[in-house]
Amino acid sequence: MQDFATRAGSGRSSSAAPDSAFTGGRTAVLIVNTGSPSAPTREAVAQYLLEFLGDRRVVELPSWFWQPLLRGIIIPRRAAQSAARYKSVWTEQGSPLMAISEQTARRMQQALGEGYELDWAMCYGTHRVPEVLARMARSRPDRLVVLPMFAQYATQTTEAVFDALERGLQALEKPLAPEGILLIESFYNHPRYIEALARSVRRHWSRTGPLGDGDVLLMSFHGIPQASSDRGDPYEKQCYETARLLAQALGLADAQYRVAFQSKFGRAKWLEPSAVDAARALAREGVRRLDVICPGFSSDCLETLEEIAVELRGIYLDEARSQGDGEARFHYIEALNVSEDAVALYAELVREAASGRLPVRCKA
């Protein structure tokens, strides 16, 4: 394991800033997201699911129990169905998540300018962290800033990135970034992040009109097992704080927004309410317009473009029609993606980390 300095207390809140700021020389920056299959085919999706769901950070079950179940039942049952879902969102540039990540790195390079070297990587699938680190090492940067593309810290996502980073560093023949490595753990309450989300919602409302009386903005975050929250993972609290700050920035009353969690996997209890349950309940309550934003997703991907914009839309509208409302409306508000606000946010996070103004996890 790499000797990363941890924070005081639970080890899951922000650490102190580095003892000294990075100045001069070359700073490598690596942005990291979860990943996607290399193609929307059964074979590629099966390989991706084996890697993704086989990570103990993602599914915390003993290998002797989980691996036979995963290989013998889960993947054979899910691969073809998941491949069809991926195909529905696939673009000429490939996976939306991969394409957006590449574009984001390129735009961040332009925003940060000389002295910074940007690259992007994934935890699973293709373009993985160890492969990208090996390429970055050839340019011999003085230091490295790692930005997981998850505003809210979760073991299943943020720590998975740091695990991949550790594996990549261990595989290098020579140390990378001799002046140090800074790991950005979260930015769930960063003012620029909240304002970027708020501006995105306002742009949407400028096209569709503002929420009317009784309309609701649903903020859907990716779910995690309830057990993770019970043991002290700050993810749930950070999601609710992001939601509170966004509602405040938009001037919403408590009755005008809800928080929910999506993408449940397996039979264990996950954070509630689920986005599906919340949408159905709101339709039954007579909510005639439901706008949905997914603040925890930096880029649109399968979980937003298909699960929310298509599946949840159908669930809400079907329930509304069953209640006699044939004029209910549903809007999905796209992720920050490669917007100017998103690029400015990520560049600011990197600058603050490199200058010692942003709490990070450090490796000397």
Encode pLDDT of 95-151 as tens digits. 999 999 999 999 999 999 999 999 999 999 999 999 999 999 999 999 999 999 999
Residues 33 and 179 in one domain: yes
202-256: pLDDT as tens digits: 999 999 999 999 999 999 999 999 999 999 999 999 999 999 999 999 999 999 9
* For residues 295-299, average pLDDT: 98
Is the CB of residue 295 less than 8 Å from the CB of residue 243?
yes
Residues 149 and 250 in one domain: no
- Domain contains 153: yes
* For residues 284-311, average pLDDT: 98
Q: Which pLDDT belongs to residue 68? A: 97
Please determine, for residue 65, whether its predicted confidence score (pLDDT) is greater than 70: yes
- Domain contains 4: no
CA–CA gap between residue 18 and residue 2 (Å, rounded): 17
Q: Which pLDDT belongs to residue 20? A: 47
Is the CB of residue 17 less than 8 Å from the CB of residue 356?
yes
Residues 216 and 115 in one domain: no
Q: Which pLDDT belongs to residue 168? A: 96
Residues 94 and 180 in one domain: yes
- Domain contains 17: no
- Domain contains 15: no
Most confident among 7-11, 23-27, 176-180, 297-301 (mean pLDDT): 297-301
> pTM for this one?
0.93
Kindly report which listed range (42-46, 201-205, 353-357) carries the lowest average pLDDT score: 353-357
Q: Which pLDDT belongs to residue 195? A: 98
Residue 2 confidence class, pLDDT cut points 50, 70, 90: very low
* For residues 62-74, average pLDDT: 96
- Domain contains 134: yes
Q: Is the peptide bond before 273 cis (omega within 30 degrees of 0)?
A: yes
Residues 171 and 256 in one domain: no
5 CB-contact burial (10 Å; exposed 0-12 / middle 13-18 / buried 19+): middle
Residue 363 confidence class, pLDDT cut points 50, 70, 90: confident
Q: Which pLDDT belongs to residue 22? A: 64
Amino acid at 109: Q
140-189: pLDDT as tens digits: 999 999 999 999 999 999 999 999 999 999 999 988 999 999 999 999 99
Please determine, for residue 197, whether its predicted confidence score (pLDDT) is greater than 80: yes
What is the total count of domains within the chain?
Answer: 2
Residues 33 and 142 in one domain: yes
Residues 344 and 317 in one domain: no
∠ CA 341-202-190, nearest 5°, is 45
Domain range enclosing 152: 27-187+340-363
CATH number, domain with residue 251: 3.40.50.1400
Please determine, for residue 14, whether its predicted confidence score (pLDDT) is greater than 50: no
Helix 340-355 and helix 96-112, axial crossing angle in degrees, nearest 10: 60
Name the β-bridge partners of 217: 257, 291
Please determine, for residue 18, whether its predicted confidence score (pLDDT) is greater than 60: no
Residues 172 and 212 in one domain: no
Residues 69 and 116 in one domain: yes
Residues 202 and 164 in one domain: no
Please determine, for residue 55, whether its predicted confidence score (pLDDT) is greater than 70: yes
- Domain contains 6: no
Is the CB of residue 287 less than 8 Å from the CB of residue 319?
no
Residues 71 and 100 in one domain: yes
Residue 266 confidence class, pLDDT cut points 50, 70, 90: confident
CA–CA gap between residue 349 and residue 364 (Å, rounded): 20
Q: Which pLDDT belongs to residue 267? A: 86
- Domain contains 11: no
Write out the chain in H/E/C secondary structure: CCCCECCCCCCCCCCCCCCCCCCCCCEEEEEEEEEECCCCCHHHHHHHHHHHHCCCCCCCCCHHHHHHHHHHHHHHHHHHHHHHHHHHHCECCECHHHHHHHHHHHHHHHHHCCCEEEEEEEEEECCEHHHHHHHHHCCCCCEEEEEECCCCCCHHHHHHHHHHHHHHHHHCCCCCCCCCEEECCCCCCCHHHHHHHHHHHHHHHHHHCCCCCCCEEEEEEECCEHHHHHCCCCHHHHHHHHHHHHHHHHCCCHHHEEEEEECCCCCCCECCCEHHHHHHHHHHCCCCEEEEECCCCCCCCHHHHCHHHHHHHHHHHHHHHHCCCCCCEEEEECCCCCCHHHHHHHHHHHHHHHHCCCCCEEEC
Residue 269 confidence class, pLDDT cut points 50, 70, 90: very high
Please determine, for residue 25, whether its predicted confidence score (pLDDT) is greater than 90: no
> Any idea which residue has 């899951």 for tokens?
12
**Token pair in block for residue 13:** 């809140």
Is the CB of residue 359 less than 8 Å from the CB of residue 6?
no
Q: Closest by alpha carbon to 53, among 32, 30, 82?
A: 82
The arrangement of strands across the sheet holding 216-222 comes to: 257-262, 216-222, 289-293, 329-333
Tell me what percent of the residues of the chain surpass a pLDDT of 70: 93
Residue 364 confidence class, pLDDT cut points 50, 70, 90: low
75-95: pLDDT as tens digits: 999 999 999 999 999 999 999
Is the CB of residue 271 less than 8 Å from the CB of residue 261?
yes
Residues 183 and 195 in one domain: no
Residue 7 confidence class, pLDDT cut points 50, 70, 90: very low
* For residues 34-53, average pLDDT: 97
Write out 266-288 in H/E/C secondary structure: CCCCECCCEHHHHHHHHHHCCCC
- Domain contains 68: yes
